[in-house]
Amino acid sequence: MPVIVNGKEFSDADMEAELPSHRDAPNPMRRAMTALVLRQVLRDEAKQLGLPTDSDEAIIDGLAQGQLKVPVATEADCRRHYQQHPDHFTVGELVEADHILFQVTERVDLDALRARAQSVLDAVLAEPSSFAEHAAACSNCPSGEVGGNLGQLSRGATVPEFEKVVFAMPAGTILPHLLETRFGLHIVRVARRVDGSLLPFEHVAPSIAAALGAAARDVAWRQYLSVLVGRAKIEGIELEGADSPLVQ
């Protein structure tokens, strides 16, 4: 079934030209067609408003200037964000961590893997000095060769779900439950930590304002695109949302 937007039908050539820009998307073909649809919706709106349509950038800039309502972050907004996320503005914070990884692979029996990991965790909690021995015997990470030691970790050095836990743990403790990340199940120990220092608000206020502004602009674009999609006559595809690389 062809995809038609406000009377404009997209051809196979249109899709072939758009597809290379979305090769890394989970569903490249749908992402490419969504981009084509939204680009046409934006182009039609710009034409109707008498705005330039010679390029995607001109269309987006024109609509942003005249149609987008983006709230400006106040100092109070920035201070609130600063106070709510002190870890984002702390420098020099480090943890020295060890782990034992039970990797999740395509055909692994998850129940059996979890049971095995829990059994090792129980043994380590009962005898903390056996951590390195169990890491060498069981871990699917190369760090197992050095007792599971990951060295000194700074913010951003690991995946977020791992970082969130290890940076909240006191030094000299073993997490009493398994930590699940995209890589598998972890038994985690934090040997040492350096708390770091919080940057003054005045030093980070401009970057906070910029980040909040970018987030507000993204929300405003999504809302605006949703309105335009709702008004447009679109056949051949259902858009679940206005998520598009056009305005990111």
- Mean pLDDT for 14-31 is 91
pLDDT on residue 240: 58
Could you please report the per-residue DSSP string of 181-199?
A: ETTEEEEEEEEEEE--EEP
Confidence band (pLDDT; 50, 70, 90) for 247? very low
Q: Which CA distances in Å does 176 have to 126, 159, 165?
A: 11, 20, 12
Report the amino acid identity of residue 172. G
What are 147-184's pLDDT values in tens digits? 999 999 999 999 999 999 999 999 999 999 999 999 99
How far apart are alpha carbons 182 and 96 in whole angstroms?
Answer: 21
Say what the pTM is: 0.66
Q: Which letter, b or e, does each residue of 23-62 get, where b requires 16 or more Cβ atoms within 10 Å of its Cβ?
A: eeeeeeeebbbbbbbbbbbbbbbbeeeebebeeeeebbeb
Q: Reduced to 3 states, what is the DSSP secondary structure of residue 169? A: coil
- Mean pLDDT for 87-116 is 94
- Mean pLDDT for 137-147 is 96
Domain ranges of the chain: 4-73+203-247, 93-195
Length of the chain in residues, anyone?
248
DSSP state, residue 172: T
What are 188-233's pLDDT values in tens digits? 999 999 989 999 999 999 999 999 999 999 999 999 999 999 999 9
pLDDT on residue 234: 92
pLDDT on residue 44: 95
pLDDT for 132 beyond 50:
yes
How far apart are alpha carbons 58 and 172 in whole angstroms?
Answer: 57
On the CB side of 179, CA atoms within 13 Å amount to 23
* Dihedral sign (CA 205, 211, 212, 217): positive
Its CATH architecture, for the domain 93-195, is Roll (3.10)
What are 57-99's pLDDT values in tens digits? 999 999 999 898 899 999 999 999 999 999 899 999 999 999 9
How far apart are alpha carbons 122 and 114 in whole angstroms?
Answer: 12
